[in-house]
Amino acid sequence: MSRVGYFDASHNNLRGPIPSCLGTMSRLFYFNASHNNLSGQIPSCLGTMSRLVYFDASHNNLSGPIPNCLGNMSALSSLNLQGNNLSGIMPEFSKANQLRFLIVDGNKLEGQLPRSLVECTHLQVLDVGNNMMHDTFPFWLEKLPNLAVLILRKNTFYGQIKHLKRKISFPALDVLDIASNQFSGKLSVDFLQATQLRSLKIGGNKLEGKLPSSLANCNNLEVVDLGNNMIHDTFPFWLEKLPSLKVLILRGNIFYGAITRVDTKHGFPKLHILDIASNNFSGVLSNEFLQSLNAMKQVANENKANLEYIGEQNNIVQLYYQDSVTIINKGIEMFYEKVLTILTCFDVSNNSFHGRVPKEIHILRSLRVLNLSHNSLSGEIPSALDNLKDLESLDLSQNNLSGKIPPQLASLTFLEVLDLSYNQLEGSIPQSNQFNTFSNDSYRGNPKLCGTPLSRKCNEVGLPKPPSPSSRKDEEKS
């Protein structure tokens, strides 16, 4: 065994502890035991393995602290311990290290980030997400010239994200994910000066104030997720300046006002996920606004050989980080570990939009998810929605829509979820294709609708049978 240089036993059913005999394998440079059922502590004998470059024990049941020796291994380039039950604080790191990838996501680590991380001058990916770490924003990491991915999500980092003395530069930063922490105060990303930033996720904090216009300087931004904060601003039309923006999530803030002043000359050339649900937006859904969503007008090429995920063009991101998104799809909150560029979503639910559902919405031909629920929309459902041939989820519930359900909607053969509940719709429900699969829940709260799957029968097409006096009394009782 002392002559073994490469060891890969990943994705098996190995049990028990990592054997201490590893310390005798002086030539070992690659060790991968990920995705097993290993338990116990990581042996400190690893410190004697002077040639070890790659160590991956992720997705096991390892417990106890991370041995200090792992911070002193001069040849170690990649250390992946994510998805275990490791606890305690992170080890200190020595100057003589070659560490490029440090991933400890999904453990029970606590305390602060060790300041000795600034000695890891080769570090490109730092992922400490999903732990119990408690610290302020680590401005001092700007000293790492190659840091491309910084993930602090789902910890208890706190305080303002604002450096009081000067602006901070992260020259190589591609991904900043600090979502689901306890950052507070006015939102400011002026300190970043990270012109290479591609993915910014700061949702699930207590950030307030206006959206900083300095974001417009980050020309490479593809993903901006600011959801579930307390940001108080009008719709950020100026984000149209970002030529590569594909995902914009403003859900659960205090954005307000009408969305009418849109530069339709440029529009959003690549935006295919727009989630502005649960804010205070009002007014009508203007044709100008819909016209600005240029990427949603174009049906993507679904040839499997051409399917792409956001961020996969970056080699580092592709290997160690994958952009994800959480949206409401098909009536439930869905987490996508990878985001296909053909996933197209338009969610303006839980606002105060009024007026008619604009028939011009049919120009957004690539939509998979359309959610206009919980507003004050009125008038009829436009039959032109049948142009949305790829639509999988349509939610128009909790509005003031009236008239009949357009029979043309039966041509939407990819539609899996339909919610028209709690409106003022009337007449017979279409009886073909996907409409034969929807349950009562799709239509509840529309007393003038009739036909299968409802128990109310229609005495002729489009007209509900008048209720008898006795049944009317029963309805009043219920």
**pLDDT tens, residue by residue, 74-133:** 899 999 999 999 999 999 998 878 999 999 999 999 999 999 999 999 999 999 999 999
DSSP, collapsed to helix, strand or coil, labels residue 468 as coil
Return the DSSP state at 476.
H
- Distance between CA 302 and CA 308 in Å, rounded? 10
Q: Which helix (H) or strand (E) holds 231?
A: strand 230-231
Which residues have a Cβ under 8 Å from the Cβ of 474 and sit 6 or more positions away? none
Prediction pTM value: 0.90
pLDDT of residue 252 exceeding 50, the answer is yes
Name residue, tokens 């914009």. Answer: 248
pLDDT recorded at residue 40: 94
Q: Can you give 199-252 as a three-state secondary structure string?
A: EEECCCCEEEECCCHHHHHCCCCCEEECCCCEECCCCCHHHHHCCCCCEEECCC
- Distance between CA 129 and CA 151 in Å, rounded? 6
Name residue, tokens 């959003």. Answer: 268
329-362 confidence digits (pLDDT tens):
777 787 888 888 888 999 999 999 999 999 899 9
Report yes or no: 62 and 39 within 8 Å, Cβ to Cβ.
Answer: yes
Phi, psi of 242 (to 5 degrees): -85, 110
Q: Sorting pLDDT into bands at 50, 70 and 90, what band is 477?
A: very low
355-410 confidence digits (pLDDT tens):
999 989 999 999 999 999 999 999 999 999 999 999 999 999 999 999 999 999 99
404-441 confidence digits (pLDDT tens):
999 999 999 999 999 999 999 999 999 888 888 999 99
- Written as six digits, the tokens of 395 are 């939610």
- Distance between CA 191 and CA 330 in Å, rounded? 39
Report yes or no: 166 and 190 within 8 Å, Cβ to Cβ.
Answer: no
- Distance between CA 99 and CA 476 in Å, rounded? 71
* Whole-number percent of the chain with pLDDT over 70: 88
pLDDT recorded at residue 317: 58
31-64 confidence digits (pLDDT tens):
999 999 999 999 887 777 888 899 999 999 999 9
What is the average pLDDT score of the chain?
87
Report yes or no: 415 and 392 within 8 Å, Cβ to Cβ.
Answer: yes
DSSP, collapsed to helix, strand or coil, labels residue 341 as coil
- Which of 43-52, 141-150, 259-268 is most confident? 141-150
Give 273's strand partners.
247, 345
pLDDT recorded at residue 263: 61
What radius of gyration, in Å, describes the C-alpha atoms of the chain?
27
Domains (range + CATH), the chain:
234-478 (3.80.10.10)
Phi, psi of 359 (to 5 degrees): -65, -20
DSSP, collapsed to helix, strand or coil, labels residue 286 as coil
- Distance between CA 119 and CA 167 in Å, rounded? 22
Q: Residues, the chain, total?
A: 478
Report yes or no: 183 and 161 within 8 Å, Cβ to Cβ.
Answer: yes
Q: Sorting pLDDT into bands at 50, 70 and 90, what band is 306?
A: low
Higher pLDDT among residues 342 and 470, named by residue: 342
